[in-house]
Amino acid sequence: MAPTAPGEKTGRAPGRRLAGNRHLVGWLEALPLTVILLTFLVLPIITIVIVSFWQATEFSIIPAFSFENYEFLFGSSVAWRVFGATFRYAAIAWVFCLVIGFTVAYYLAFHIRSQTMQVALFLLCTIPFWTSNIIRMISWIPFLGRNGIANQTLIDLGLIDAPLEWLLYSDFSVILAFVHLYTLFMVVPIFNTMMRIDKSLIEAARDNGATGFQTLRHVIIPLTKPGIMIGTIFVVTLVMGDFITVRFMSGSQRANVGRLISNDIGLLQYPSAAATAVVLLCTVLITIGILLRFVDIRKEL
Q: What does 85-101 look like in DSSP terms, one character per residue?
A: HHHHHHHHHHHHHHHHH
Q: How far is CA 276 from CA 23, 79, 87, 153, 245, in A?
A: 42, 9, 15, 43, 19
- CA 144 from centroid of its chain's CA atoms: 26
273: CB partners within 8 A, 6+ apart: 261, 264, 265
Please list the pLDDT of the chain residue by residue as tens digits (301 residues).
Answer: 455 555 444 555 565 666 666 777 778 888 888 899 999 989 999 999 999 999 887 778 888 888 999 999 998 888 899 999 999 999 999 999 999 999 999 998 888 878 888 888 888 888 877 888 888 888 898 899 888 888 899 898 888 888 888 888 889 999 999 999 999 999 999 998 998 888 888 888 888 888 888 888 888 998 899 899 999 999 999 999 888 899 889 888 888 898 889 888 888 889 999 999 999 999 999 988 888 887 776 665 5
For residue 187, the surrounding DSSP H or E stretch is helix 184-195
**Are 259 and 189 in contact, with CB atoms under 8 Å apart?**
no
**Are 167 and 247 in contact, with CB atoms under 8 Å apart?**
no
CA distance 49 to 231: 28
pTM: 0.84
Fold of 78-300: MetI-like fold (1.10.3720)
Number of Cβ within 10 Å of residue 163's Cβ equals 16
pLDDT (0 to 100) of residue 178: 94
Number of Cβ within 10 Å of residue 126's Cβ equals 11
**Are 142 and 249 in contact, with CB atoms under 8 Å apart?**
no
pLDDT (0 to 100) of residue 99: 95
pLDDT (0 to 100) of residue 1: 47
Phi/psi at 170 (nearest 5 deg)? -155, 175
pLDDT (0 to 100) of residue 198: 85
pLDDT (0 to 100) of residue 24: 78
